[in-house]
A and B are shown apart, each in its own frame.
Chain A
């Protein structure tokens, strides 16, 4: 292997790794706050990319109907609960977030002919369709089980993942799609050619990671999520409700997932079930970090990306095997070194 190939592979690895890093951060966040192992994370990647692709192909994405349907379902359930609890004050919130918001998004999508809009507007619309599915999913599948064990929540995650993959096939069909690149520019760095989309992926990932760090470090809502992760009872006593924290973390995870999909859609063909494999690599990175440390998860993700691109050069048939085998020594090392910390007081 000469230097040029090595550089090329490294570039590939780092680009993919930065996407895995985003997904790993979202997984760590969701697990820390809700103890949910968020396997459906990958479906948000696929939904984001394919919703954008549908816009560009002049079609109405099925995710829009999912958004409207889920909104109505959540509104029904929460209305019944609010009426029973004698808390009509909650109805306004329900009408706003679960009915009005999806209706406005649907109005925009159906009224504006997204195919004719500039790319930035298309991306914004795709996010508006996919991201609200995150908190709705939490409300429907996980909130009723907030006190359940990690294992039960994991089983629910598997079920949700299978359901969303099935819906993805229904909405988008079996063919893959690519979207138009954010930029057609090419740069020459010595012997290496870097294209514009690569820079977009890296730049957007860095911006998102910094934004997340600021959110958790500087804002009260970010601190509230950390507090819930550290001590759920303590957080509730501060008025930070477990379901609010859950919805917020699912919103962030859905946003990160959908944006990751949108970022890689111009460089990789995305199928309805591509998200799972991408998400799983983010998961390997998150496991390397013990589902706890954000910087470790990001570092692990870059490692996974590099390993993947180099193994695709040397032994392309085994590239997935090599990546996922990485998890075994990591788990062994973790089980030997980690002293298990349960909720401390």
Chain B
């Protein structure tokens, strides 16, 4: 079922000081697929994405587009087509929505692409709300709008691998549904997606493959449909009350 992976990490370990937070993680994302990582608070999901993106030092191997990354540098990975929407969003609060989006295309601009206007029109088509707010400062947006801006800004980079850290965090159910729709639509454009989520039900619905991360290790993995039927997942993450926060 898995075709050639666009991202493959082997034996990834990350420590904060003396405490190891991630233990020997192995994970693959196939080209054009959505892979989700679910798990409770503090499992190490954010840590994993930060390490893959080169924001945290790590041990182990990270292979992106068939190349083992030796000297992992964020800027280099961005130039290669990896983009992260971080948990904290990291927007440029004192700059306009439009400028935030433009900066999303910085790496491409630097390498000679001058189609940021066209890409922005596509992002505005995906998120009409951002178009209405284009002149507003990013710091004054509502929570949902900020989320949209963070995703839109990431799309401006035309990524080959898009990593999303809890895009549904703190959003009203209606907007959550909208965001997940958009993620499922993005898949059709050919971008591979690594989706970290607390909202296991929604994530497993749109994902092709899933991993369950618990206390820094992969506890379970499998096709998302099988995972959604696994009794352990049902009990802990999809329990009768719905999603567990």
Contact = CB atoms under 8 A, between A and B. Distances in A.
Interface in B50-89: 53, 55, 70-71, 73-75, 78-79, 83-84, 86, 88-89
B71 A227 contact: no
B70 A237 contact: no
Interface in A47-98: 84-87
A220 B112 CA distance: 13
B104 interface: yes
B174 to A, nearest CB: 24
11 contacts: A227-B92, A231-B90, A236-B55, A236-B75, A237-B74, A237-B90, A238-B153, A238-B157, A239-B75, A239-B79, A345-B88
Contacts of A235: 92, 103
Contact of A226 (B55, B95, B104, B153): B95
A230 B79 contact: no
A234 B176 CA distance: 23
Interface in A229-250: 230-231, 233-241, 244
B70 A86 contact: yes
Which of B75, B91, B157 counts the most chain A CB atoms within 10 A? B75
Interface in B98-122: 99, 102-104, 106-107, 109-110
Query: What are the 6 closest A-B residue pairs judged by CB atoms, nearest first?
Result: A239-B107, A234-B90, A239-B78, A85-B71, A241-B75, A345-B88
A240 B90 contact: no
B31 to A, nearest CB: 22
A255 B88 CA distance: 36
A342 to B, nearest CB: 13
A223 B91 contact: no
Nearest to A87: B71
A239 B110 contact: yes
Interface in A292-345: 344-345
A339 to B, nearest CB: 16
Contact of B83 (A85, A226, A230, A237): A237
B222 interface: no
Q: From DSSP, what is the main secondary structure of chain A's interface residues?
A: helix
B74 A227 contact: no
A233 B93 contact: no
A223 B86 contact: no
A13 to B, nearest CB: 32
B94 interface: yes
Nearest to B91: A234
Interface residues on A, range: 20 to 34
A220 B106 contact: yes
B92 A239 contact: no
Nearest to A240: B106
A96 B110 CA distance: 18
A85 B72 CA distance: 9
A224 interface: yes
A233 B102 contact: no
A83 to B, nearest CB: 11
A344 B138 CA distance: 13
Contacts of A220: 102-103, 106, 109
A345 B86 CA distance: 11
Contacts of A87: 71
A240 B93 contact: no
Contact of B74 (A223, A226, A236): A236
A224 B106 contact: yes
Contacts of A241: 73-75
Interface string A243-270: 0100000000000000000000000000
B95 A344 contact: no
Given A220-B109, A237-B90, A240-B103, 19 more contacts: A86-B71, A224-B106, A227-B92, A227-B95, A227-B103, A230-B93, A233-B86, A233-B90, A234-B92, A237-B84, A238-B103, A238-B153, A239-B75, A239-B78, A239-B79, A239-B106, A240-B107, A345-B89, A345-B90
A226 B100 CA distance: 11
Nearest to A228: B92
Contacts of B83: 237
Contacts of A239: 74-75, 78-79, 106-107, 110, 157
